[in-house]
């Protein structure tokens, strides 16, 4: 008998593919985004009519549909214009120089496909692109997703070159659609870039729980029969997504993991309990990723915070964290950083939501910061110890040892 046999029988026979609840699924309807779609269509209508059009900025928190709605609207425009439109989707997290962006645009432009990925000066690529586009007579939409990363890494110049490519060449008809989470993005730009970008913008507001339910229901009902899920389970996914700044991605992920957990459990119905378990799993995956990507010294600082709190649950101070940190660096053979740097790391950890701090007055002795954690100490410790460089910390019961030493 094959030991995997028992897993091939689905306890919940799915009507459709569960990938409808993954990021790769591109829906063709977007409940509660009618207004944004309308606004984007309105902004891009000039392209259909062969007219110069304003560039567009798309704002909104994570998981509010910015990327997927932008791709949907531009794909509809592509449906309308066919080969007369070139769409270049660029994630500026991955491509963050004008050079790499130009090369990416060129890949889709007839006659410019052969521009090499390196070796040409920027102005040669620029000229080649302009002449190929003018010859081809096509329109161009450049979607710069996470556009703030581009400006952060390269300043306004990089964006300026791309805006100029479209604005200053009569043969190039098109727009830049910039997508960002940063509501102050526009204000931070230099005036040259600002004036080109104008103020055309579309805001993606966070979803509330009812709206998230409307987003979840069509997907869930296409794979599950009504008797295979409790409505309360969907409501809970929606409520948790709403709590997390109205995040549809979170609600959808929770629903998918809940179904998977129910199936692994051989249950024939998805109940609320699986959603709670899905939340724990999702949160710990995110927490693990965040801890994993911290620099080594930040991990040691975080470990010190946890130990300080174990010793003094309500009164752990930054000074104490520093003491623990120094001792742990000695133990590991690292040179300790200055208290200033430790303080910077404490601020970073607070930004990540892993710890919280509160200023406490010490009367004439000044003030100190009292530190707390988010209540996931055991998980955090486990994830820190997954770093092989810090394994030594595993066997030492530091909280007792250091308590006696103080
Ligand atoms: N109104 C909606 N209807 C259906 N699905 C939606 C809707 N809004 C968002 N989604 C889905 O939620 C997920 C997240 O959306 P998307 O990736 O577009 O968010 P985003 O705003 O770009 O987030 P980020 O800022 O993190 O990149 C996607 O799977 C998308 O299909
Ligand atoms: Mg996005």
CATH assignment at residue 358: 1.10.10.10
Measured from CB, residues less than 6 Å from any atom of ligand 1 are 23, 27, 30-33, 60, 62-68, 181, 215, 248-249, 252
- Report yes or no on 351 lying in a domain: yes
Domain containing 143 equals: 34-204
Mutation to probe ligand 1, out of 68, 218, 254 (largest number of atoms < 8 A from CB): 68
What residues sit around ligand 2, an ion, with C-beta below 5 angstroms?
67
176 and 114 assigned to the same domain = yes
pLDDT digits (tens, 9 = 90+) for 280-322: 999 888 889 999 999 999 999 999 999 888 887 777 888 889 9
43-47 average pLDDT score: 92
CB distance 131 to 76 below 8 Å: no
314 and 286 assigned to the same domain = no
- Report yes or no on 6 lying in a domain: no
CA distance to 72, 81, 172, per residue, from 136 (Å): 25, 14, 10
Evaluate if residue 156 carries a pLDDT over 90: no
80 and 157 assigned to the same domain = yes
**CATH code for the domain of 40:** 3.40.50.300
Evaluate if residue 174 carries a pLDDT over 50: yes
Q: Which two tokens stand for residue 96?
A: 């963050």
Mutation to probe ligand 1, out of 63, 66, 242, 254 (largest number of atoms < 8 A from CB): 63
Alpha-carbon distance 239 to 257, whole Å?
16
383 and 235 assigned to the same domain = no
69 and 162 assigned to the same domain = yes
Alpha-carbon distance 79 to 77, whole Å?
5
- Report yes or no on 156 lying in a domain: yes
Rounded to a whole number of angstroms, the CA Rg of the chain reads 26
Among 171, 204, 237, give the residue marking a domain's end.
Answer: 204
Total domains in the chain come to 3
pLDDT digits (tens, 9 = 90+) for 102-155: 888 998 888 888 888 788 888 899 999 999 999 988 899 999 999 998 998 888
DSSP secondary structure of 307-341? HHHHHSTTT-BHHHHHHHHHHHHHHHTPPPPPHHH
Alpha-carbon distance 359 to 322, whole Å?
17
Among 186, 204, 222, give the residue marking a domain's end.
Answer: 204
264 and 199 assigned to the same domain = no
CA distance to 77, 112, 296, per residue, from 80 (Å): 5, 23, 52
**CATH code for the domain of 246:** 1.10.8.60
230 and 88 assigned to the same domain = no
Evaluate if residue 371 carries a pLDDT over 50: yes
40 and 166 assigned to the same domain = yes
CB distance 58 to 180 below 8 Å: yes
Among 261, 290, 319, give the residue marking a domain's end.
Answer: 290
């Amino acid at each position: 008998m094959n030991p995997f046999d028992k897993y091939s029988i689905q306890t919940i026979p799915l009507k459709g593919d569960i990938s409808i609840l993954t990021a790769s699924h591109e829906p063709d309807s977007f409940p509660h985004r009618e207004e944004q779609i309308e606004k984007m269509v309105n902004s891009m209508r000039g392209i259909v009519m062969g007219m110069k059009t304003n560039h567009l900025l798309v704002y909104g928190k994570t998981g509010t549909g910015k990327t997927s709605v932008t791709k949907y609207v531009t794909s509809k425009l592509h449906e309308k214009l066919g080969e007369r439109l070139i769409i270049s989707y660029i994630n500026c997290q991955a491509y963050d120089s004008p050079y790499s962006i130009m090369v990416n645009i060129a890949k889709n432009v007839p006659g410019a496909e052969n521009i090499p990925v390196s070796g040409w000066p920027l102005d040669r690529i620029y000229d080649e692109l302009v002449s190929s586009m003018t010859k081809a007579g096509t329109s161009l939409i450049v979607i710069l997703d996470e556009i703030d990363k581009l400006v952060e890494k390269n300043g306004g110049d990089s964006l300026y070159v791309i805006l100029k490519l479209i604005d200053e060449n009569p043969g190039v008809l098109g727009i830049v659609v910039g997508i960002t989470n940063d509501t102050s993005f526009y204000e931070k730009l230099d005036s040259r870039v600002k004036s080109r970008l104008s103020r055309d913008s579309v805001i993606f507001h966070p979803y509330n729980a009812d709206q998230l339910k409307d987003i979840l229901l069509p997907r869930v009902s296409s794979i599950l029969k009504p008797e295979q899920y409790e409505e309360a389970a969907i409501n809970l996914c929606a409520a948790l997504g709403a709590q997390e700044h109205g995040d549809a991605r979170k609600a959808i992920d929770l629903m998918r993991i809940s179904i998977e957990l129910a199936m692994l459990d051989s249950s024939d119905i998805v109940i609320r309990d699986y959603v709670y378990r899905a939340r724990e799993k999702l949160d710990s995956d995110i927490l693990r990723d965040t801890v994993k990507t911290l620099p080594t010294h930040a991990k040691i600082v975080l470990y010190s915070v946890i130990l300080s709190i174990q010793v003094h649950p309500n009164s752990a101070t930054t000074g104490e964290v520093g003491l623990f940190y120094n001792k742990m660096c000695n133990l590991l053979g690292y040179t300790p950083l200055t208290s200033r740097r430790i303080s910077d790391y404490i601020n970073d950890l607070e930004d990540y939501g892993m710890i919280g701090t509160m200023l406490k007055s010490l009367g004439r002795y000044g003030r100190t910061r009292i530190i707390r954690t988010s209540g996931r100490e055991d998980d955090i410790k486990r994830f820190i110890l997954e770093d092989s460089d810090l394994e030594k910390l595993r066997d030492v019961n530091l909280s007792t040892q250091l308590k006696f030493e103080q």
